[in-house]
Each structure stands twice: as structure tokens, then as C-alpha cells.
A = this chain, B = another copy of it.
Amino acid sequence: MKLHGYFRSSAAYRVRIALNLKGLTAEHLPHHLRKGEQTAPDYLAINPQGLVPTLEGDGGTALTQSLAIIEWLDETHPSPPLLPADPLRRAKVRAFALAIACDVHPVQNLKVLARLRQLGLAEEKVTEWAAWINREGLAACEALIKGEQGPFCFGDRPTMADLCLVPQLANARRFGVDVSAYPRLLKAEAAAKEMKAFADAAPDKQPDAE
């Protein structure tokens, strides 16, 4: 398998964690997003959105969208599971993951922030925008798991929720968000970061890290 990514892409980071947890290896093919490499025609042919990640299978299949890739990995390599067995618990885990993957990350990704700059927004206001959507989303996530013992988001092992949380907290810090407001999220992050699968997937451990 080949994983098209970028060290700082939090969506690619989610898939790196999933691969590590499943004990799978993939060749990492970095695309420098700030240089626009993800819009090269060859890449658009496998990912028409011009986003990372894309997971290329050995049979020439190309899977896009981090959560679709993670669901596919979980269905084809069930151990260890990244979703609970009970449908209601699965829905809770997915809702948490989607609260980040839909309502936070895409509103502060490179493309959207670049568009804000094009509209004439000063850099300080652009960062404020990114910090705002991170705060909104993380506060909601904190509430979503307030009754969960943990230490992970949902129970005593990582799920798709943790795969989304850890990269998003990294983004939030880059945008200057005071994450101490979210103690339950930090508890889950601490548990995750003790695992080699999470540690090895961190942006600064990637070959293209700057």
C-alpha cells in the first residue's frame, strides 16, 4: 500500500495512526501542500478533490477521505477494532469523529485559510478564524464525552474518535488555542500518546517534516 500524505495534514495523520494500530505498513508519498503539489494532474487523477490522504491499494485502487479509509481498514483488518461492537456506541464514536472531521478541520484547512487571505483578511484575523472553529469544536467534543470514564475518548482502548482528536489538538495548539479548557480531551490524548502507534504517526516523525 501507498499512503499519499503530508506530515502536517491532520487527515493524513489520522490514517497513519490507523495503519500503525493495525500493524500495517505503507510506503509514504509526501505531497507538499503549501507548494500546491496536491493539484498536480497525476494526483488529481487518483484524488479529484486534490486533498490528502489517498491510500493506494496493491490492486491499483485509490481510496480517498480519511474516515472512509479508516472504516475500510477496520472492515478489512478487524483487529484491533477502531469502532465498538454495539451500534449505539459505534454511533457515538462516529459522531465524535465527524464533529472534528466535518465541523472543525475543513473550516480551518489550508484551502479555506488561503481563501480568507484572498478576501483581504490580515494574517492575525486568519489565525483567529482557525482558533475560533477549533475552540467551538473542541468544547463540543469535551461535552460529548463528559460522561465517559476513559481514559480514551470512549473506553479503555483507542477508537476512531481518538484518531481524530489527537491530530486536531495538534492543530489547535498551532493556532494558539488554550487547550487546558478541555481536560477530558487532554486525558484521552495523554493515553493515546503513550502508545507507539500514535507516537510514530506524529508530524515531526515523518520523513517530510520541516
Contact = CB atoms under 8 A, between A and B. Distances in A.
A6 B104 CA distance: 21
Interface in A74-105: 75-76, 87-88, 90-92, 94-95, 98-99, 101-103, 105
Contacts of A25: none
A115 B135 CA distance: 14
A61 interface: yes
A136 B125 CA distance: 24
A119 B119 CA distance: 11
A49 interface: yes
Label chain A's interface by main secondary structure: helix
Interface string A96-127: 00110111011100011001000101000100
Contacts of A43: none
A64 B95 contact: yes
A206 interface: no
Interface stretch (A65-73, A165-173, A181-189, A191-199): A65-73
Contacts of A68: 91-92, 94-95, 98
B48 A71 contact: no
Interface of A: 44, 48-51, 57, 61, 63-65, 67-69, 71-72, 75-76, 87-88, 90-92, 94-95, 98-99, 101-103, 105-107, 111-112, 115, 119, 121, 125, 129, 132, 136-137, 139-140, 143-144
